[in-house]
Structure 1
Amino acid sequence: MGEVSEKRPEYTPKPMSSTTTYALGAVAVVVIVLVVLAVFRFGRDEAAVRNDGYGPVHDPAVLVVLQMDSSILLGKPDAKKTIDLYEDPLCPGCGNVERIYGQELAQAVDEGKLALRYHLVNFLDEQSASKDYSTRAVAANLCVAEASSGPTYSKFHTELFTTKRPSEGGDDHDNAALADIAAAAGAPESVKLCIARGAKVDTARATAKSALDALGKALGGDAATPAVFDGDTKVDVNKEDWVATLTP
């Protein structure tokens, strides 16, 4: 992987769920209303969970691979299709995509219909109490992906983005707590130590920046999460059947 510049991107990433990012002086109210209307599905706690009861990936034949660019590939080697998902661990919209569609995606992975390539970003660091939660959570994902099974990573990722996801502006998990979440998902002691010691934090900071740059380029310079791509085509995750349309 080439050298990653530490210069801040020229665009300002905007999470789908955060109206504060869209406050632009006199037009703030209008913009916020439009944003709320555009992403209302991700703010509705009552949205129906797809495949409720299935749980995370559980087929031991599913592998997790930490790739050269530190994206995380979850799936069977002969999966029919690979899709790309961009997420920030603190992003409420990302959490709702995982909550609503995560189990449906897990079944598609178990059945070999899909493989999931996660690109984790960290532009919400400043919205966390520690000011670096997203980066540390990305690092924890790297630790788990490097030395755990596919089902273990899936369980950890699910927990981190749903029941264990902190709120923007609220308290977040320190490294010891992140390590405990990984251990509860079945990760070995070496992974727990990797997370607790912050062994991959510097790597996470650099690769999250690269992923954010790639997302900004794919979206025409305006990065936002959650974002899902089928090849070069952005998937509309506001459509209830988007997973089904990818797995005919």
Structure 2
Amino acid sequence: MGGAERSARKRRQQQSAAARAVTQARGGGGPSRKTIVSVVAVVVLAAVVIGGVIWTNASKNETEGTTITPQTASAALDTADERQGATVVSGKADAKVKLDIWADFLCPYCAQLQQKYGTQIEDQIKAGNVQVTYHMIPLLNNRSDPAGYSLDSANASLCAADQGKFTPFHDSLFASQPEEGKRGYDKAQLIKLGQDLGISAPEFATCVNGGTYNQQLDDALTEVSKAPNFQGTPTVMHNGQVINWTQDGWLTNLVNQAG
């Protein structure tokens, strides 16, 4: 190979190396800017999805391992014989106003009824003016995750009634109501609430764990669902007539009219 040919080849090699250097400097030798942006977007999206799943699961299960706050102010209302089948009757037999209330411990509107009028109702019961028959029905039994909280809580409230603790148990569950579509409270948490309210009889835990009143509650739901004036939960009735509990002063008006 002559010197001229070697010189030409060397120049070509130098030019090729220079071209590669320019290409690499411009980003042509590695991933394109578009590719890098796409990869970053995928990573960010994955992080958002994973974070959303973690947050959703945490939110869904926020009742897990928690203690239901006991409400004890209304404990004096109860008697050990107030449970009548799948209902609980609170108040004197000669009360001039007699109400029936159908409710579900998972129902948010039932919690609103309790929040707005629960104390007034209980005060009228104490005064001897009102008697209430509580029908705690498992209407939303499939609306918790896992399903079954409506029935478990309704059964537990009847078990608490057998121990003379229905009203504080009832009030406590509404005061700490789980969100519909999410986890309710399990049987161990319901038993713990009863114990925190002063229930010491071992029969209470047996009643809760065994679902003693489950069949009666299911039968009551089936029966009331056939009634033409049943409007879901909550339904409030006086002498068989549905009461508009969202109307201000409805309870005071009933008491005054019965006067």
TM-score range, shorter chain: 0.5 to 0.7
1:228 to 2:245 alignment: no
Among 218, 223, 228, the residue aligned to 2:229: 218
User: What stretches of structure 2 of length at least 5 have no aligned partner?
Assistant: 1-71
1:170-195 Cα shifts (integer Å, max 9, x gaps):
11111111111122223342223311
Are 1:118 and 2:127 matched, yes or no? no
Looking at secondary structure, tell me which structure has more helix per residue: 2
Structure 2 CA distance for partners of 1:148 and 1:211, relative to 1, 3 Å: farther
Distance 2:205 2:254 in 1: 35
Equivalent in 171, 176, 186 of residue 174 of structure 1: 186
On the 8 A contact 1:139/1:203 being kept in 2, the answer is no
Is 1:141 matched with 2:141? Answer: no
Equivalent-residue separation in structure 2 for 1:233 and 1:207 (angstroms): 19
1:191 maps to 2:204:
yes
% identity of equivalent residues:
24
Change (3 A) 1:188 1:116: farther
The code of the aligned residue for 1:121 comes to: I
**1:56 and 2:74 correspond:** yes
Cα distance in 1 for partners of 2:73, 2:225 equals: 29
Cα distance in 2 between the residues matched to 1:80 and 1:107: 14
Distance 2:207 2:80 in 1: 20
Residue from 140, 153, 167 that aligns with 1:154:
167
Q: Is residue 76 of structure 1 aligned with residue 104 of structure 2?
A: no
Can you list the C-alpha shifts for 1:189-227, whole angstroms capped at 9, x where unaligned? 22233113323223322223223333xx224xxx32111
TM-score, normalized by length of structure 1?
A: 0.68
Deviates more, 1:133-142 or 1:109-118: 133-142
Any conservation in 2 of the 1:179–1:193 contact (CA below 8 Å)? no
- Superposition map of 1:236-247 within 5 A: 236-247=244-255
CA contact (8 A) 1:120 1:208 kept: no
Higher radius of gyration, 1 or 2: 2
Contact (CA 8 Å) 2:91, 2:125: kept in 1 or not? yes
Output the amino acid matched with 2:159. Answer: C
Counterpart-to-counterpart distance in 2, 1:132 and 1:202: 13
Shift of the 228–59 alpha-carbon distance from structure 1 to 2, 3 Å rule, reads closer
Runs of at least 5 residues in structure 1 that lack an aligned partner in the other structure: 1-53
CA RMSD of aligned residues (A): 2.2
Counting matched residue pairs gives 185
Return the letter of the residue paired with 2:217. A
